[in-house]
Structure 1
């Protein structure tokens, strides 16, 4: 029974990160445009938090569990995390989403979908545009395909949440709903939630251009992160079942997250801020600094 309760808690934490993606679409209930400065700053904050938590939280935990002080499993996990993100990117690059799920009655909409290939700042988001089109048409087959692709893309973030709960129930955590929740888990959940907000905005922008309702934009944004609670539960169940592989799990999550920050979050922030003064570097650096500084109290708890 305790295991089931723990799995439910981890799933809820993953679900929180998914719901946070929907927050990125909420501003469109009130305004027509969402500031690129805000987006760049959020990318920076999320990046700063995740790198800090990964290096000084996940890696430290992995070293602590390494047998004999030799972190072979943790190093292997780091490399595996980087490899998963790299392979995922290549798999996604090799999938031609534009030709999947089209039917004869879709032809009237083809022009609309191909026109909306940017997120308002000149960014190429064909995947986002296809998701908007699938929601607009209610194309179940296409939505299932997109969910499968998003699973590959979002799984490392869910794994990071799940692994961060490895010490759930042990002394020293925060008391939340009767559970002793590790500080690392709290801040990893917050970090990924913050990252998901501008991601939700990027998804909502082309949907707004297609004339979709506000609530459909929120639903699509949340839909894009649904794999995260699933990945969180799988990762937590694995490290709970095979405690000897904890160093690998911590290393895997750290490697995936740092690599994601370096290859996706930072480039996305710079692309979003391309039209800002100084190409958005001040907002990005300010966000990074804020993310790192916010973690300093955690490092000394």
Structure 2
């Protein structure tokens, strides 16, 4: 268990660092088209969707014993996870720099802090998913999830950095902020690892809870953002390619 915990933490940190790696192109060019960005974000959504399906929901049903009872436990976890993130999103003051919307309760915080809160809300479920993916000492499943989350973090890191540059932040500061937002994920990873270590009987529910939170992020934030600029077709193909890539990774590595 100790080895699993260590590997899980390292995997969570690695997945989070991929956000910074994705932001590196801003040092070389700012001229990344919105069409390309929407396609890349669509790819991220597809990877998340496949990771949710194959690495969280299916194992949740299996750990719950399968059959109708297993499906009901998993369904409850998905819904609770989605509701939890909905309430967090609704009552936490934050701003989305990608589309300039402010949400949550009013607060007299600087805009950058509102943005960081938004990224924290967004990235926390991904770290949680990686952590619970190591449940039942399943290092293989956890590593596959970490790889998938790392892949989808790269276009998100680029999108965050570009948004900050457009808000007149320097490339260096935009990169550092994008990197730091990715490091929210190890916090979620630690919580997920802790939960499955001390509350093993609720592993199926915990996996499904992480899946529900991830599904909420995909539907509520990423897909609407990719469709906002009129590049729905490119984003849709991005989702399909991301889903296929993650499905292949899950089958070949799993």
1:137 is matched with which residue? none
Equivalent of residue 285 in structure 1, options 207, 228, 236: 236
Contact 1:118 1:206 in 2 (8 A): yes
CA RMSD of aligned residues (A): 2.7
2:129 is matched with which residue? 160
2:182 is matched with which residue? 225
By percentage of residues, which structure has more helix?
Answer: 2
Give the 3 Å change call, closer, same or farther, for CA 29–250 of structure 1 in structure 2. same
Q: Distance in 2 between matches of 1:96 and 1:39?
A: 22
**Which of structures 1 and 2 has the bigger CA Rg?**
1
Q: Distance in 1 between matches of 2:119 and 2:232?
A: 29
TM alignment of 1:15-164, pairs within 5 A: 15-67=13-65, 69=67, 70-71=69-70, 72-92=72-92, 95=93, 123-124=99-100, 130-131=111-112, 150-164=119-133
Q: Secondary structure at the match of 2:182?
A: coil
Contact 1:25 1:214 in 2 (8 A): no
Q: Distance in 2 between matches of 1:49 and 1:212?
A: 29
CA-to-partner distance for each residue in 1:100-135, whole Å, 9 max, x for gaps? xxxxxxxxxxxxxxxxx965xxx21669x822xxxx
Q: Distance in 2 between matches of 1:42 and 1:185?
A: 24
1:114 is matched with which residue? none
Contact 2:136 2:196 in 1 (8 A): no
CA-to-partner distance for each residue in 1:214-251, whole Å, 9 max, x for gaps? 33221111122322101111111211222211110111
1:246 is matched with which residue? 203
Q: Distance in 2 between matches of 1:148 and 1:28?
A: 22
User: How many residue pairs were aligned?
Assistant: 244
Q: Distance in 2 between matches of 1:192 and 1:68?
A: 26
Q: Distance in 2 between matches of 1:91 and 1:7?
A: 32
Give the 3 Å change call, closer, same or farther, for CA 195–96 of structure 1 in structure 2. closer
Give the 3 Å change call, closer, same or farther, for CA 239–58 of structure 1 in structure 2. same
Contact 2:132 2:206 in 1 (8 A): yes
Contact 2:94 2:117 in 1 (8 A): no
- Structure 2: where are the runs of 5+ without partners? 104-109
Question: Given the two structures, how large is their TM-score scaled by the length of structure 2?
Answer: 0.83
Equivalent of residue 216 in structure 2, options 259, 265, 288: 259
- Structure 1: where are the runs of 5+ without partners? 98-116, 132-141, 171-180
Give the 3 Å change call, closer, same or farther, for CA 245–118 of structure 1 in structure 2. closer
1:113 is matched with which residue? none
Contact 1:51 1:261 in 2 (8 A): yes
Contact 1:27 1:34 in 2 (8 A): no
